[in-house]
Structures are given as structure tokens and as C-alpha cells.
Structure 1
């Protein structure tokens, strides 16, 4: 066994111990084809008002610009699929936001993994990223053999569906690389495209953020949601799970075992009227460690008023 193979075994075993669903590894390089697709998507204005998507383009397509001397991109999945359901009277909230903000949870695990690598292997430089840096997480998951990018633009995995978070650890350690995932297992299925309430999936693998309910309820900072889309929100007040809920591959989803993702009771049980009766102070107290705090109370009030 080569040092790279031995180190890879150590890393994947520790990732599993930390609770990650899967771990794949790819060679750090420029993602030329993904760069072309990203540029076309941006040129069409499909990023909406997410100006940050236009910044640091070179870093997005080449992790070696993020971590000098980078040799490997480690991609990790963390399951968030819940065992419970929301009350039928509750405003609909995307499942990923039911518990503690995943940024806190995953960042701690990434730091622990990097510390383990440095302890067991030696002087390794690396940086962990959780949806907060210019990294093409889904592309790297594909390159590391974890799955394929489906028609809904989510990463799909044959064993686990898509209800998981993606995280990356870029490091200057040479490892044994997994084979890229080159097969599209969506086939002729178009359920996600057919069921999207706002028809935001404009082509296989391409989402127009300007129409996407997740964008409208979280990223859009306007005073009101566009009138043409308000009657298509389908009860969603923070994010949207429709394209995942209808995906046949998610029949393989299993409830997560992460204590931090235990649902906040108010997410499951508060009715629309109870939500609207919340004060800003109560909102901040209940959701202080939740992703739901992101649009702030003003944004959530706007979303609730659109129902």
C-alpha cells in the first residue's frame, strides 16, 4: 500500500467516525467544463441578485487558487433527512433548516478532520469550506465519485438521494483519487421539472434563481416577492423541497442521526397565525442558531404575508 492509499484510508475512516455519510476525493485541478457552464449561467442572469456568485470566478473553478499548493479536494456528505414531519397547518420550511444551522455543525467536524490529518499524517495545510466560499461543491462531489448532478441541479446519490449537505476540505496532501461519476441516472424522469411550483428548472441541471422559491424566500432582499410569483409559493416560507420530495432517488433517504439536526419544535408545530403573532424578539430567541434567521424577521414577515 502506498502512502497516498494509506492516508486515504485513514481520512475516510475518520470521516465516517465523525458522522459523515460519505467521503470522496478528487485531484485538485481547474474545472474547465464547469467554468464554461457557470459563465453561461451568469451571463443569462440566472443568479438573480446574488452578486456574490459573480465574484472570485477564478477561485470557483480552481481550488489551487484558494489553497496554494493544493493537491486534493475531499468532499463530504452529511445527512439531514428528518424522521418527523411538519404539521399540515405550519408554514412550509425546507428540511435542511429544521435544526441547528449546518454551518456551525459541519465547520466543527471539518476542523476536527483537519486536526486529525495533521496529527496522524504530519504538516498538512488545508481549508474547509461549507457553502460560504467560492467552491463548486456539486462538481467536486461528482469528480470524487459520489454522485451526479440531477435535472434539479442537486447532487444525487444512488444510496442516499439528495437530502444531505455538501462540504469540502482542500489540502496540499496527495491522496488516492476516486473515479469521477460520469453516469446520469435520472434517465427520462422529469418529475422535478414537472412539479416545480414556479417552473424554475428551465432545462435539465439549470435553475433560474429569479423564479426559484428558495431564492425568493431567502436570498432576495426586496420588500415584496414579485406579484407574478406570489400565488405560486405553495405555502413555502423558507426554502423549498418540492424538487427533492418528488425525486424517486429520495425513496432511499434515511433519517439522520445528528443530534444538532433535531427539529426546533416551533418549526414543526407553529401555525401561520402563530408565526404572524411572533414578535421580532421572540423570533430572534427561538431561531438564533437556525438558518431561518438569515432573512431576518423582516424577510420572514414578507414571506409569511405572501401566503
Structure 2
């Protein structure tokens, strides 16, 4: 119990907004859901989703002797917004690349645990390894999986990054909470491309985020023209319409301060931007994942009439 309390206090001290802990074990139900999803081809060209299936469903294959999965939520909801007439960027990408920011906190957290508790072995992950983060967050009592496929926290909404720290020490475990989506279908109704095919099931191959970020070095299919609602990088529609996000509060993380260009660029500014300027302005931004060529492709697609 003392170690569990220390870890949760440490998480808050390091800037994480919420912390939950679950027993490390195989995720049998999630394994079946993931297998069905893959078999239906809903991962599109994201072949990496097929890799390391055994590790995705069992954290003990990622950390030898794993006993506990610590899940951490980090708020990224911004206090400022883009100009509405410009190509839209998902809010998670307004500031610095979250991988860099959160990975450093996870390393610090593990070091502090080793200093305080003893020879703790563990590994931290943030959206860069075969870990079912949302499943662990749900099992840790941090929320439920909404009809849009996102984790929803009852007091804080869904604009969070999810990180996990898998360790080999036993801790006190949290219990899952209920599902509070009820009969609401706002996200299902609002999805511009119909990617939310049923409650909690996202056809990744139809998602705007897939086309604008994950689809590498290919043209976006013509059949999708006119369906992107101005989204150039990612999409927040299903979160923006979710009633639970009325509880979202602006983050206080300096690293996630919006890049000025994201808030201020007009459509013309984006179109006039050179590759050199792109590399300089977005050198620490998630936008670099699409590269300059990807952003140019997305802009061209938005400007093509169906």
C-alpha cells in the first residue's frame, strides 16, 4: 500500500493528471477483439498493428516478471484554438511532440521508484510499442472506452495522452468503472467519414487521422474528397462533440504551448510554406511525422473539389 501511494503521489508530482494501476495479466477479451478488428482489415496499411500480437495482449512478454501495469494520463487540452478558416490540426499536435515530453517523465518516474522502493525493474511506453493503452486505462479505473473508441474520464473528458509503466513489483490494484455513454450517439453521428462503424469500433482505414498521418507516400483516395471537414492533420470531431468533454480543462504543460504558426497560419500561409521553413517551425512537433510532402499532399487534397 505504501508503494502504491508513493507511486500515485510521484505521478502527480511529475505532472501526470491521473494514475491507475492494474494487475499484469493476459488480456483475453481484448485479444479476441483485436483479432476480429485485424481480420476485417480495419487497420488499413498500418501493418505494424499485426506485429507482436502476443506482446500486445500480455505485458509479461514485454517486461520479465511483470506484476503491475501503471497507467498515466497527461492532459493536452489547449486554452487556444486555430483560426477556423485555416486547415485544421488535431489538438494533440499543437505543441511539442508528446513522445519526447512524456518519455522523459517515465524515465524519471522509474528512477525515482528505484531510489525509493528498491530494485524495481520496468519499462515505460507512450504510444510507441505493442501496448493496448486504452485497455489498461480502463482496467485501472481511469475511465471507460467510449463509442468513439477513446478513453473517457468521467471528471475530465478524453483529451489525454495515455502512458504505461510496466513493473515487476506487486501493488494495490484499482477497479474498472462503468460505461456512461448511455444512449448518446453524437460521435457516431458526427464522424465525417463514417469511421465509427459501431459503438467502440473504429474502422481505422476510414479515419481522417489515418489518411492524413498514417498513410505514407500515397495519394488519398478520390472517393474521400469532400469528407474531411477541413482537417489537414488528424481529426478531433468525435471528441469535440462528446458531452463529457465539457469537463475538459486547459493543460498547464509549457511543452504543449501551441506552435504560433498552428494558431496563426492562414490557408495561404500553409500553401506558401517552404520545406526549409517547415523543418524549422515544426522540428519538435508531431507534424514532422507526416513530413513536408505529407502536409503538401493533405493541403492539395483539401483544396480539390469533389
Of 200, 208, 218 in structure 2, the residue corresponding to residue 205 of structure 1 is 200
1:223 is aligned to 2:218:
yes
Task: State the Cα deviation string for residues 75-126 of structure 1 (Å, max 9, x = none).
Answer: 0000000000111232100000000000011001101110110000000000
3-state SS of 2:204 partner: coil
TM-score, normalised to structure 2, is 0.98
Point out where structure 2 has 5 or more consecutive residues left out of the alignment. none
In 1, Cα distance between equivalents of 2:7 and 2:115: 12
Of 181, 196, 204 in structure 2, the residue corresponding to residue 186 of structure 1 is 181
Other-structure match for 2:26: 30
Structure 1 residue 180, shift from structure 2 partner: 2.0
Of 223, 226, 233 in structure 2, the residue corresponding to residue 238 of structure 1 is 233
TM-score, normalised to structure 1, is 0.98
Written as runs of structure 1 = structure 2, the 5 A alignment for 1:250-265 is 250-265=245-260
In 2, Cα distance between equivalents of 1:245 and 1:276: 26
Point out where structure 1 has 5 or more consecutive residues left out of the alignment. none
Of 196, 202, 209 in structure 1, the residue corresponding to residue 191 of structure 2 is 196
Structure 1 residue 230, shift from structure 2 partner: 1.9
Other-structure match for 2:289: 294
Of 165, 173, 180 in structure 2, the residue corresponding to residue 177 of structure 1 is 173
In 2, Cα distance between equivalents of 1:105 and 1:254: 20
3-state SS of 1:210 partner: helix
Written as runs of structure 1 = structure 2, the 5 A alignment for 1:1-307 is 5-181=1-177, 183-307=178-302
3-state SS of 2:138 partner: helix
In 2, Cα distance between equivalents of 1:59 and 1:124: 21
Contact 1:72 1:171 in 2 (8 A): yes
In 2, Cα distance between equivalents of 1:264 and 1:117: 34
Task: State the Cα deviation string for residues 231-270 of structure 1 (Å, max 9, x = none).
Answer: 1011000000000000000000000000000000000110
Moved over 6 A (4+): none
Structure 1 residue 222, shift from structure 2 partner: 4.2
In 2, Cα distance between equivalents of 1:113 and 1:195: 39
In 2, Cα distance between equivalents of 1:90 and 1:136: 34
